Amino acid sequence: MQSHLDQPAIGVDLGGTNIVCAAVMAEARIIEKHKRPTEVPKGVEQVVANIKQCIHEVLRKAHLSLEQISGIGIGSPGPLNTRTGIVINPANLHGWHNVPLRKMIEDEFHVPVVLDNDANAAAYGEKWAGAGKGVDNLVVFTLGTGVGGGIIMDGKLLHGPDDTAGEVGHCTIDYNGYQCKCGNRGCLETYVSATGIVRRTIEAIRQGRDTIINKMVEGDLNRLTSKIVYEALEQGDALACEIFEETGRLLGVGIANIVNTLNPEMIVISGGVIQAGEHLFRPTREEVRRRAFEEPTRTAKIVPAQLGGDAGVIGAAGILVQHLTLKTPTQKNHG
Amino acid sequence: MQSHLDQPAIGVDLGGTNIVCAAVMAEARIIEKHKRPTEVPKGVEQVVANIKQCIHEVLRKAHLSLEQISGIGIGSPGPLNTRTGIVINPANLHGWHNVPLRKMIEDEFHVPVVLDNDANAAAYGEKWAGAGKGVDNLVVFTLGTGVGGGIIMDGKLLHGPDDTAGEVGHCTIDYNGYQCKCGNRGCLETYVSATGIVRRTIEAIRQGRDTIINKMVEGDLNRLTSKIVYEALEQGDALACEIFEETGRLLGVGIANIVNTLNPEMIVISGGVIQAGEHLFRPTREEVRRRAFEEPTRTAKIVPAQLGGDAGVIGAAGILVQHLTLKTPTQKNHG
| CATH code of the domain occupying B135-306 | 3.30.420.40
Instruction: For strands B266-270 and B138-143, give the pairing.
Output: parallel
Asked whether the domain spanning A134-305 has the same topology as the one spanning A2-124+310-331, the reply is yes
List of residues 6+ apart from B285 with CB closer than 8 A: B252, B302
Angle at A48 between CA A44 and CA A50, to 5 degrees: 115
Q: A261 to chain B, minimum CA–CA distance in Å?
A: 5
Q: What is the pLDDT of residue B329?
A: 55
pLDDT at A145 over 60: yes
One-letter-per-residue 3-state SS of chain B: CHHHHCCCEEEEEECCCEEEEEEECCCCCEEEEEEEECCHHHCHHHHHHHHHHHHHHHHHHCCCCHHHCCCEEEEECCCEECCCCEECCCCCCCCCCCECHHHHHHHHHCCCEEEEEHHHHHHHHHHHHCCCCCCCCEEEEEECCCEEEEEEECCEECCCCCCCCCCHHHCECECCCCECCCCCECEHHHHHCHHHHHHHHHHHHHCCCCCCHHHHCCCCHHHCCHHHHHHHHHCCCHHHHHHHHHHHHHHHHHHHHHHHHHCCCEEEEECHHHHHCHHHHHHHHHHHHHHCCHHHHHHCEEEECCCHHHHHHHHHHHHHHHHHHHCCHHHCCCC
| CATH code of the domain occupying B2-125+310-331 | 3.30.420.40
Q: Which residue among B174, B265, B299 sits closest to A174, beta carbon to beta carbon?
A: B174
ipTM computed for the complex = 0.94
Q: Which residue type is seen at B43? A: G
| Share of residues in chain A with pLDDT > 90 (%) | 93
User: Which of B80, B147, B172, B189 to mutate to test binding with chain A, by most A CBs within 10 Å of its CB?
Assistant: B172
Q: Which residue among B171, B292, B293 sits closest to A261, beta carbon to beta carbon?
A: B171
Q: Which residues of chain B have pLDDT under 50?
A: 1-3, 330-335
Q: Mean pLDDT across chain A, nearest whole number?
A: 95
Q: Considering only CB atoms, which chain A residues are within 8 Å of B159?
A: 263
CB pairs under 8 A between A and B: 134
Q: Do A260 and B167 touch (CB under 8 A)?
A: yes
Predicted confidence (pLDDT) per residue in A27-42, tens digit: 889 999 999 999 999 9
Confidence of residue A2 (pLDDT cuts 50, 70, 90): very low
Q: What is the mean pLDDT of residues A68-74?
A: 97
d(C-alpha B164, C-alpha B175), whole Å: 21
Q: In what order do the strands lie in the sheet with A147-153?
A: A156-157, A147-153, A138-143, A266-270, A301-304
Q: Do B164 and A253 touch (CB under 8 A)?
A: no
Q: Do B261 and A167 touch (CB under 8 A)?
A: yes
Please state, in angstroms and as integers, the Cα–Cα distance from residue B155 to each residue in B35, B133, B266, following that order. Answer: 29, 10, 12
Q: In chain A, which residues touch B (CB < 8 A)?
A: 79, 137, 151, 153, 158-168, 170-176, 182-186, 250, 253, 256-258, 260-265, 290-293, 295-296, 299
CA-based nearest residue in chain A for residue B176: A174
Higher pLDDT pick, A237 / A5: A237
pLDDT at A6 over 90: no
Q: Do B165 and A292 touch (CB under 8 A)?
A: no
Predicted confidence (pLDDT) per residue in A305-332, tens digit: 999 999 999 999 999 999 999 985 544 4
CA within 13 Å, CB half, A228:
20
Q: What is the pLDDT of residue A115?
A: 98
Instruction: For strands A138-143 and A266-270, give the pairing.
Output: parallel
Q: Where are the domains of chain B?
A: 2-125+310-331, 135-306
Q: What is the pLDDT of residue A225?
A: 96
User: Which of B249, B263, B288 to mutate to test binding with chain A, by most A CBs within 10 Å of its CB?
Assistant: B263
Q: B154 to chain A, minimum CA–CA distance in Å?
A: 9
CA-based nearest residue in chain A for residue B157: A262
| CATH code of the domain occupying A2-124+310-331 | 3.30.420.40
Q: Which residue type is seen at B287? A: E
User: Which residue, among B58, B33, B28, B34, has the nearest Cα to B126 in the 3D structure?
Assistant: B28
User: Which residue, among B260, B301, B307, B278, has the nearest Cα to B138 in the 3D structure?
Assistant: B301
Q: Do B292 and A184 touch (CB under 8 A)?
A: yes
d(C-alpha B276, C-alpha B246), whole Å: 12
pLDDT at A106 over 80: yes
d(C-alpha B273, C-alpha B270), whole Å: 8
Confidence of residue A193 (pLDDT cuts 50, 70, 90): very high
Q: What is the pLDDT of residue B327?
A: 82
Q: What is the mean pLDDT of residues A157-173?
A: 97
d(C-alpha A111, C-alpha A107), whole Å: 9
Q: B60 to chain A, minimum CA–CA distance in Å?
A: 40
Q: Do B164 and A258 touch (CB under 8 A)?
A: no
CATH T-level fold of A134-305: Nucleotidyltransferase; domain 5 (3.30.420)
**Lowest-pLDDT choice from A2-6, A51-55, B177-181:** A2-6
In this structure, the dihedral spanned by the alpha carbons of residues B95, B101, B104 and B110, taken in order and rounded to 10 degrees, is 160
